[in-house]
Amino acid sequence: MKIEIAKELVIQTIESALEGKSEVKEEMQLIGGVALLDSMKLVEVCLALEDLADDHGFEFDWTSEAAMSKTRSMFRSVASLAEEFSKQSES
């Protein structure tokens, strides 16, 4: 899956989890002090991305080291989550 498509899907998914209350931008942080989502919303986003991955014929693993690592976490930003989503679609 091309990164542009992954970004679009991830942004749509996050906006849907936020019920359209915020505009989602690529550079927005997903975890940490100024995180866009609370931990429960983040779980909802991950479950929704799992479903999208199923629809696109791959498995999205959000419990991996890449997900949890403080420095390399896929949840650093909207863009990094989209990058990981795209990467996993090709592996």
Taking the least distance from each CB to another protein, the nearer of 63 and 71 is 63
Strands annotated E in the chain: none
**Does residue 16 interact with another protein by CB under 8 A?**
no
What residues from 41 to 60 belong to the interface with another protein (CB under 8 A)? 43, 46-47, 50, 59
**Does residue 12 interact with another protein by CB under 8 A?**
no
Secondary structure letter of residue 76 according to DSSP:
G
The label of the residue with tokens 């996993």 reads 88
Quote the least distance from Cβ 43 to another protein, whole Å: 6
Quote the least distance from Cβ 62 to another protein, whole Å: 8
What residues from 24 to 43 belong to the interface with another protein (CB under 8 A)? 39-40, 43
Structure tokens at 8: 């679009």
The DSSP annotation for 70-90 comes to TTT-GGGBHHHHHHHHHHHHH
